[in-house]
Amino acid sequence: MMRISPLHFLLISASLLSANEALDVLEGRVDANSILLPPREFSEAETGGESAEERVENIIYLEPEWAASPLDPIWARSVLYDNAANPWVQQVAISGYFDFQSSFGSADTDAVGPTPATSKSLDGTRTRRARLGARIRAFNNTEIEAVGEFAGDSQYAGVERLKAYTQVTDTTGVTYGKFRPNFGTESRVEPQLSPYPHGTVMGSLVAPAPALGVSIHHAGKVFDYDMGWFSGDYSPDLPGFKGDGFLNFGIAKSSVSKKGDTLTRTRWHADYIHNFDAAESESGGYNIVGRRSANGNQLVVQNPAYRHLFSTGVALESARYTFTGDFQLARGETTVWGMTAGMTYWAIPGTLNLVGRYQYAGSDDAGAVVSTFGTSGSLRYDDSPFFIGDELHSFYLGANLHLYKDSFVIQNGLEYSILNDESGSDFNTDAFTWHSGAKLSF
């Protein structure tokens, strides 16, 4: 009997299911200029009496209103060529992102038996990200993006992404190349647009790394859909095809409500990943095998083997505030679950943004919850000290000063984390960290 691989399954299904990179736009986290799909026009029959013009107004992304700045001409120079009339190449632009972070604090671990209490300094500075790239719009339906990462060690620096997006119809598009799968709210937000100094704990634990794959997107009348296949191979440069890989499915619904003069966009999503390779996959999970934890000096003998991953959440955005909530579950040889709730509020619109975030991660298995503190925040890409346990609570409160739109931001905030190790050897850890940093992007 002929065996049908996941890739064959995806290609066969491509004609039946497809979806839309405008999901990011609807969430308000991606510049509409980087999305090729135009607003879809709906008939009144499709919208239950609502006119097509009203339906389009509800789904398009509204560009934030920023005050004119003397820096506008400088940032505009990132577009090297722009000619919509050219049938071959419509635009050529360069992109960059630099993220410098510093932290001050300590992680204190309780004494266990004869093992004395320990205190790990979290003081340090580092360039967490340094990216340069280029974007080309061509043929009036394709956008090609290449981004190189120059920060970090050899396991991180390399080709961060090399992908193309082709619009097939008004509501259907395909992304292909090396890129990060859409899984959870955080994966749909570019890090330079995140209001927080580092990513989420659950994202670091379970979200796949950028991999070679293809994803089909479709904007339906009510729901938007994603379906993709990705290789299990990992490389900081260009990965290849390895194993059976994993399938990525997503469904989302977006709406806009109006109260007075205030518009609020709401987006709900549900994502699922089936990892055919489990422990053999290099692109899923994190890599700390052969290293010892900073709290109990425990040796990690194997990386997690997640086979089923699920995420669901909601994002709300208005002129003054945003709210995101996300729940994630990963099951396999070990099981871990968690949630994230974050909110931002413009104290001074366009200038001072107050931000807060609560994170929780838990497991019934000893050592299944792994976290870094300080300027790290990534379990895959650096050799920073890590701490293990079975339950984590983290609270962050900060303020962001926007010197130029979302492109030049100074961040400051305080984070308090509690990592319990009750299923292990009771190496419970508390961490206080003051974060300061700057993000510059174009």
Question: Which tops the pLDDT comparison, 78 or 291?
Answer: 78
For the segment 412-440, the average pLDDT, to the nearest whole number, is 95
Is residue 212 over pLDDT 80?
Answer: yes
Query: pLDDT at position 55, please?
Result: 36
For residue 152, give Cα distances in angstroms to 115, 127, 129: 33, 8, 8
**What mean pLDDT, rounded, does the chain reach?**
84
DSSP 232-249: S---SS-----SS-EEEE
Query: pLDDT at position 23, please?
Result: 36
Is residue 43 over pLDDT 60?
Answer: no
Question: Which tops the pLDDT comparison, 299 or 48?
Answer: 299
Question: Which tops the pLDDT comparison, 12 or 422?
Answer: 422
**By the 8 A CB rule, do 78 and 92 touch?**
no
3-class state of residue 61 by DSSP: coil
**By the 8 A CB rule, do 192 and 31 touch?**
no
Half-sphere exposure of 82 toward its Cβ, with a 13 Å CA cutoff?
8
The residue with tokens 């004395």 is 116
The architecture in CATH of the region 6-441 reads Beta Barrel (2.40)
Q: Which helix (H) or strand (E) holds 324?
A: strand 321-332
Q: What is the pLDDT of residues 129-163, one digit of tens each?
A: 999 999 999 999 999 999 999 987 666 789 999 99
- Of the segments 82-86, 114-118, 294-298, which one has the largest average pLDDT value? 82-86
Query: pLDDT at position 261, please?
Result: 80
Query: pLDDT at position 73, please?
Result: 94
CA distance 106 to 315: 33
For the segment 57-84, the average pLDDT, to the nearest whole number, is 78
Query: pLDDT at position 154, please?
Result: 62
DSSP 210-232: PEEEEEEEEE-SS-EEEEEEE-S
For the segment 18-27, the average pLDDT, to the nearest whole number, is 37
For the chain, percent of residues with pLDDT exceeding 70: 84
Q: Which helix (H) or strand (E) holds 58?
A: helix 52-59
Query: pLDDT at position 376, please?
Result: 76
Q: What is the pLDDT of residues 241-257, one digit of tens each?
A: 888 999 999 999 999 99
DSSP 364-381: SSTT-EEE--TT---SSS
Least Cα distance to 105 among 127, 115, 120, 90 occurs for 120
Q: CB neighbours (10 Å) of residue 436? A: 17
**By the 8 A CB rule, do 37 and 59 touch?**
no
CA dihedral (276, 280, 284, 285) in degrees, to 10, reads 130
Question: Which tops the pLDDT comparison, 221 or 80?
Answer: 80
**By the 8 A CB rule, do 204 and 160 touch?**
no
Question: Which tops the pLDDT comparison, 208 or 6?
Answer: 208
**By the 8 A CB rule, do 270 and 144 touch?**
no
3-class state of residue 314 by DSSP: strand
Query: pLDDT at position 369, please?
Result: 94
Residues β-bridged to residue 314: 268, 325
Residues sharing a CB contact under 8 Å with residue 379, sequence separation 6 or more, in sequence order: 204, 205, 286, 287, 288, 370, 372, 386
Question: Which tops the pLDDT comparison, 14 or 424?
Answer: 424
3-class state of residue 186 by DSSP: helix
Query: pLDDT at position 31, please?
Result: 39
Least Cα distance to 374 among 429, 434, 427, 287 occurs for 434
3-class state of residue 4 by DSSP: coil
Cα four-point dihedral sign 351, 376, 272, 191: positive
CA distance 155 to 213: 20
Query: pLDDT at position 59, please?
Result: 39
Is residue 52 over pLDDT 50?
Answer: no
Is residue 15 over pLDDT 60?
Answer: no
Query: pLDDT at position 19, please?
Result: 35
For the segment 170-196, the average pLDDT, to the nearest whole number, is 94
Query: pLDDT at position 16, please?
Result: 36
Is residue 277 over pLDDT 50?
Answer: yes
Query: pLDDT at position 14, please?
Result: 40
**By the 8 A CB rule, do 228 and 200 touch?**
no
DSSP 32-52: GGG--PPPPP--TTTTTT--H
Q: CB neighbours (10 Å) of residue 48? A: 8
Residue 205 region by backbone torsions, left for phi larger than 0, else alpha for psi between -120 and 50, else beta: alpha
For the segment 387-393, the average pLDDT, to the nearest whole number, is 95
Domain boundaries along the sequence of the chain: 6-441
Grade residue 377 by pLDDT with cuts at 50, 70 and 90.
low
Least Cα distance to 79 among 98, 63, 94 occurs for 94
**Least confident segment among 39-43, 181-185, 223-227, 404-408:** 39-43
Angle (CA) 271-272-274 rounded to 5° is: 160
For the segment 68-77, the average pLDDT, to the nearest whole number, is 92
Q: What is the pLDDT of residues 396-422, one digit of tens each?
A: 999 999 999 999 999 999 999 999 999
Paired tokens of 386:
């890590």
Least Cα distance to 205 among 390, 418, 437 occurs for 390
387-389 and 391-404 strand pairing: unpaired
Residues sharing a CB contact under 8 Å with residue 261, sequence separation 6 or more, in sequence order: none
CA dihedral (125, 129, 132, 136) in degrees, to 10, reads -150
CA distance 417 to 226: 34
For the chain, percent of residues with pLDDT exceeding 90: 64
Is residue 17 over pLDDT 70?
Answer: no
Query: pLDDT at position 291, please?
Result: 87
